[in-house]
Structure 1
């Protein structure tokens, strides 16, 4: 499990003008809310945040915010970015404990694709979903979820319900009924490949 620490200072000045000034100074405005405390506006170092966000796991991990020297456990709930520049303009954090139930999108890691039965038979992998929204205790929040492709064959579709989730985690989509059991990944026959029946018909 990766550990991320972000230093922050609380601030009283809010609004668009204050946010623009912070960004000009190389900082990022943010807010932390939730738990039993009041929301607090924060100032983060753009340099420190940019380094942390280079790692995929940052967005699906419990982050240790050190606010004015005091430690607060939190998860990233929203990241706002500039319309066309690679710049973070604002961040939202939610305070958590190990038992807090959080709703987070977690990246899917597809393993053993090159060893899968379907790929060995000439099939082509098609990814429909690359992250999955789950609910689970913050203390058990996974950095990613593995989808093992070893036994997946040509023509087979892996749905959300086929994915092994960590203990205590549930897929949010499945809570809405069977019709939300969406396809995650499949292995399709290569384009132009004829089925056995099509080949026989062509021969006739």
Structure 2
């Protein structure tokens, strides 16, 4: 689970709209909004430098943060952000208020392990990643940093489905109506031919038993 919570200092903004947002940016800050938890939206201004490094540092949208707004501390989860299409400067951030009971939908990265223990990959097959991220429904304070897919024993032609992944307690896929594929082990023509020959060679032996 993510343990890298952090705190940001912010100033409340009385004015909103495009003109106000441009003024905030001219002053070297980033406009943002905190919403949710059945409370009115709160417009704030964040340090440009702090938010830039958080966004580009990774795991921004899966890490709960505390925002100190003029002395009042609010727990939030970043939900969305806008970057300048040319320079990647942060332009705006949306935060969701969270509490210990808040459930959220988040996209969690997939990590693959034990490629060296996959007979299919050793034979020349390749890992074909269908989903680099999976959307989960989970408690806001228990968002996984990633989910792990173990490739040990996987053969050419195998598909790894979400049911094969061990998930933390309380973490459930948003897609619940099917056992969707995360990755497959695809083979080259030569690797498939070799696998077919091995299967053919093993068949008579098994038939004779």
TM over 0.5: yes
Aligned equivalents of 2:190, 2:120: Cα separation in 1: 16
Q: Deviations over 1:44-71 (max 9, x none)?
A: 1110011112332222111111111221
- The alignment covers a number of residue pairs equal to 196
Cα 1:127–1:4 change in 2 (3 A) is same
- Quote the offset at 1:197 in angstroms: 8.5
Residue 66 to residue 193, structure 1, CA distance change in 2 (3 Å): same
Alignment pair present for 1:183 and 2:185? no
Match of 1:167 in 2: 169
Q: Of the two, which has the highest radius of gyration?
A: 2
Whether contact under 8 Å (1:2, 1:57) holds in the other structure is no
**Structure 1 regions of 5+ residues with no counterpart?**
none
Query: 1:127-157: CA deviations, max 9, x gaps?
Result: 1111111111112111221222223222111
Deviation, structure 1 residue 198? 7.0
Report the CA distance between 1:199 and its aligned residue. 6.6
SS at match of 2:153: coil
Structure 2: segments with no counterpart, 5+ residues: 199-209
Give the alignment's Cα RMSD to 1 decimal. 2.0
| 1:95 corresponding residue in structure 2 | 97
Other structure's SS at 1:168 match: coil
- Larger mean CA deviation between 106-115 and 9-18 belongs to 106-115
* Aligned match for 2:19, one of 17, 20, 26: 17
TM-score for the superposition, normalised by structure 1:
0.87
**Equivalence map 1:30-109=2 (5 Å):** 30-109=32-111
TM-score (norm 2): 0.85
